[in-house]
């Protein structure tokens, strides 16, 4: 599990107390003073550093999934590994993706301003609290592995052979939650001190260790297309190799943070004097984020149960790549634009809008939210249509090592995810507005709505669609759920900001981008289909189809977007030309 997409990191130490005062933007994005330009430059540099780390992490993450698919395919054995590996990930999200990011970042920044020691004691208490709690939860999780697997997939639990392998995988994977939590809290301590790079770059080490592990599996046992390895043929030594490699990767990722802490001048030491030092307030705020994550994970459990059963039925019918592995692999690819663009920008903006909320500067919050939505949309909207148009050649190229049918199944799921990227990105940005006010209750209620819609629609897909297409339907349900969630969150944030969220300007930007992207996607799909009709959908044909379709999509989209004179696109193109001209 890579943590590169973790939301909510704090801003730089130097701008923790003054960034918003220096860097407040007018509605049109123009800065209010010359000093604002310096603040904006710092923000852009921070975002660029995080984006670069995220890109490398995501690329190595994809290489990891490619090697996994080549080693153990995308069928029953990989489904068992995915179920086992998602268990610690769920708890990582509970600790890292929830309270630590959304609640404790503002608290860490405030402690740096308030405390004589620059917040060092507060950060050490937070680290001690998280690590102690995770040690207990980890031990309990390892003991309860059979129960957790049964909860995640009754279908796997009904097969003694698959159940035994999945439980073994889980007992190797579950301890990774300890290192996930350590990585997140250490990363947030560094982010609060202006050291953004470590949290974004250290997941690369995790990916490299995992890649080496599965490459070693291929060297020892052969590729999946040759070995056909499955639950009935995999050896205990092979399972042990994959499990230990997964655990080692997360351990290396967490331990690699320690040199960065020393470089930042932070002394890490246990502190158990929790009472009376502000952690109670943070925990009170975190309770709603905890509920937020629990609601989200309840939806994930439902989808995992349904997807593993649908995948088993589809594989027995001759359609591998139609289960939870296909869902997870497609999801990883689909989330890349969000992680690179939206998360990086909003991560650096969060301390600034938190400060604006403290000053009751609703105009500044509105401007930052509007700017984040419009700027990210320039890349997010065409990427969403690209997944819809070119999902199959993307997957059949990337996952050719898992077998043609399995790779094609992943492509169909990726296409189904496609357009849901737009509401998924919008909701991420909008929720930052609530977190700026330390309001974690509203995101909780919003997530309950998303989880209920996602689980309900996924259940309908499981019941109504053939097993081969059920998981693709669940992927579409994911986007539908976020579209509903955006409608609810948008109205609540607009009310919170006095009825003004710059909605007409934001909607106008998105409509223009959709108008430019839709015909571009159709032209790209037609070009790719023509190529695969001539060359086939093997790795070679898929590569040519993807290149041709991508080129067509880019040319048509840019041509139509320039005709509509999108200022956000002009700014992006100007920045690119400036970089190339240096």
User: Which CA distances in Å does 325 have to 66, 265, 309, 332, 470?
Assistant: 12, 42, 12, 11, 13
Q: How far from chain centre, in Å, is Cα 400?
A: 24
Q: Is residue 472 part of a domain?
A: no
Dihedral (Cα; 11, 107, 283, 256), 10-degree rounding: 50
- Positive or negative torsion for Cα 353, 355, 357, 362: negative
What pLDDT was estimated at residue 425?
93
Q: Is residue 129 part of a domain?
A: yes
Determine whether 527 is exposed, middle or buried from the number of CB atoms within 10 Å of its CB (0-12, 13-18, 19+).
buried
CA 503 – CA 227 distance, rounded (Å): 56
Provide the domain count of the chain: 1
What pLDDT was estimated at residue 284?
57
Give the DSSP letter of residue 400.
Answer: G
- In sequence order, the β-bridge partners of residue 263 are none
DSSP string, 228-258: ---TTT--HHHHHHHHHHHHHHHHHHHHTHH
What pLDDT was estimated at residue 286?
58
Half-sphere exposure of 340 (CA within 13 A, CB side): 16
Q: Is residue 494 part of a domain?
A: no
List the structure tokens of 270.
């246990």
The whole domain housing 103 covers 51-283
Q: How far from chain centre, in Å, is Cα 370?
A: 22
CA 314 – CA 531 distance, rounded (Å): 28
Nearest to 549 by CA among 386, 411, 353, 420: 386
Q: Is residue 230 part of a domain?
A: yes
SS3 of residue 302 by DSSP: helix
Nearest to 238 by CA among 165, 188, 180: 165
- Positive or negative torsion for Cα 353, 357, 361, 362: positive
SS3 of residue 25 by DSSP: strand
List the structure tokens of 89.
């990930």
Between helix 104-114 and helix 279-316 the angle, nearest 10°, is 150
Nearest to 567 by CA among 424, 339, 377: 377
Q: What are phi and psi of 542, to 5 degrees?
A: -65, -40
Q: Is residue 460 part of a domain?
A: no
User: Which CA distances in Å does 151 have to 92, 144, 546?
Assistant: 18, 11, 39
- In sequence order, the β-bridge partners of residue 25 are 31
SS3 of residue 294 by DSSP: helix
CA 350 – CA 342 distance, rounded (Å): 12
Q: Is residue 18 part of a domain?
A: no
Give the DSSP letter of residue 158.
Answer: T
Q: Is residue 443 part of a domain?
A: no
R_g (Cα) of the chain, nearest Å: 23
Q: How far from chain centre, in Å, is Cα 575?
A: 26
Between helix 176-192 and helix 120-143 the angle, nearest 10°, is 160
Q: Which residue has the tokens 């044909």?
A: 541
Q: Is residue 468 part of a domain?
A: no
Q: How far apart are the first and last CA of the chain?
A: 37
List the structure tokens of 304.
């995992």
Q: What is the pLDDT along the chain (582 residues), one digit of tens a residue?
A: 443 333 222 222 222 222 222 222 222 333 333 333 444 445 555 556 666 777 788 889 889 999 999 999 998 899 999 999 988 877 666 654 455 555 555 666 666 666 665 567 777 777 887 788 888 888 988 999 999 999 999 999 999 999 999 999 999 999 998 998 888 888 878 877 777 677 778 999 999 999 999 999 999 999 998 888 999 899 999 999 999 999 999 999 999 999 988 887 778 777 766 555 455 555 555 566 666 667 767 788 899 999 999 999 998 888 888 899 999 999 989 998 887 777 766 766 776 787 787 778 888 888 888 888 888 899 899 999 999 999 999 999 989 888 888 899 999 999 999 999 999 999 998 988 887 887 777 887 888 899 899 999 999 999 999 999 999 999 999 999 999 999 999 999 998 888 778 888 899 999 999 999 999 999 999 999 999 999 988 889 999 999 999 999 999 999 998 888 887 777 666 545 554 454
């Amino acid at each position: 599990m890579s943590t590169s997409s973790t939301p909510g990191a704090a801003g730089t130490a130097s701008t923790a107390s003054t960034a918003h005062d220096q860097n407040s933007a007018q509605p049109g994005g123009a800065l209010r003073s010359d000093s604002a330009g310096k603040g904006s430059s710092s923000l852009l540099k921070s975002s660029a550093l995080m984006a670069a780390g995220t890109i490398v992490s995501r690329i190595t993450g994809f290489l990891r999934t490619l090697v996994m698919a080549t080693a153990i395919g995308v069928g029953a054995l990989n489904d068992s590994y995915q179920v086992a590996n998602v268990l610690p990930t769920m708890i990582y999200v509970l600790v890292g993706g929830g309270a630590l990011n959304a609640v404790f970042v503002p608290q860490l920044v405030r402690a740096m301003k308030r405390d004589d020691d620059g917040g060092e004691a507060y950060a050490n208490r937070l680290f001690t609290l998280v690590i102690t709690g995770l040690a207990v939860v980890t031990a309990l999780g390892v003991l309860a592995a059979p129960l957790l697997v049964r909860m995640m997939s009754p279908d796997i639990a009904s097969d003694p052979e698959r159940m035994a392998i999945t439980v073994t995988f889980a007992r190797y994977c579950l301890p990774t939650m300890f290192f996930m939590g350590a990585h997140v809290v250490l990363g947030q301590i560094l982010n609060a001190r202006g050291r953004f790079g470590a949290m974004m770059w250290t997941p690369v080490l995790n990916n490299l260790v995992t890649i080496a592990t599965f490459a070693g599996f291929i060297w020892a046992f052969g590729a999946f297309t040759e070995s056909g390895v499955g639950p009935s043929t995999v050896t205990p030594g092979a399972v042990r190799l994959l499990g230990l490699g997964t655990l080692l990767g997360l351990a290396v990722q967490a331990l690699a943070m320690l040199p960065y802490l020393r470089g930042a001048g932070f002394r890490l030491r246990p502190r158990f004097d929790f009472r009376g030092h502000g952690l109670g307030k943070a925990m009170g705020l975190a309770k709603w984020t905890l509920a937020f994550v629990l609601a989200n994970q309840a939806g994930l459990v439902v989808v995992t149960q349904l997807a593993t059963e649908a995948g088993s039925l589809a594989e027995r019918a001759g359609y591998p790549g139609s289960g939870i592995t296909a869902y997870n692999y497609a999801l990883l690819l689909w989330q890349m634009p969000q992680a690179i663009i939206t998360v990086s920008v909003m991560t650096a903006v969060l301390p600034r809008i938190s400060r604006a909320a403290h000053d009751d500067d609703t105009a500044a919050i509105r401007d930052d939210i509007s700017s984040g939505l419009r700027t990210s949309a320039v890349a997010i909207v065409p990427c969403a249509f690209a997944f819809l148009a070119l999902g199959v050649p993307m997957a059949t190229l990337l996952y050719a090592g898992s077998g043609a049918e399995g790779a094609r199944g992943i492509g169909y799921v990726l296409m189904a995810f496609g357009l849901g990227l737009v509401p998924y990105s919008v909701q991420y940005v909008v929720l930052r507005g609530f977190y700026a006010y330390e309001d974690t209750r509203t995101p909780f209620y919003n997530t309950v709505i998303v989880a209920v819609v996602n689980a309900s629609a996924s259940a309908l897909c499981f019941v109504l669609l053939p097993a081969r297409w059920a998981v693709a339907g669940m992927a579409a349900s994911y986007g539908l759920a976020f579209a509903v969630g955006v409608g609810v969150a948008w109205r609540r944030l607009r009310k919170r900001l006095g009825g003004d969220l710059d909605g007409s300007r934001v909607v106008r930007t998105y409509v223009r981008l959709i108008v430019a992207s839709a015909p571009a996607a159709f032209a790209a799909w037609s070009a790719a289909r023509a190529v695969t009709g001539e060359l086939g959908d093997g790795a070679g044909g898929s590569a040519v189809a993807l290149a041709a379709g991508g080129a067509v999509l880019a040319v048509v989209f840019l041509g139509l977007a320039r005709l509509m004179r999108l200022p956000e696109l002009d700014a992006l193109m100007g920045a690119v030309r400036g970089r190339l001209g240096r």
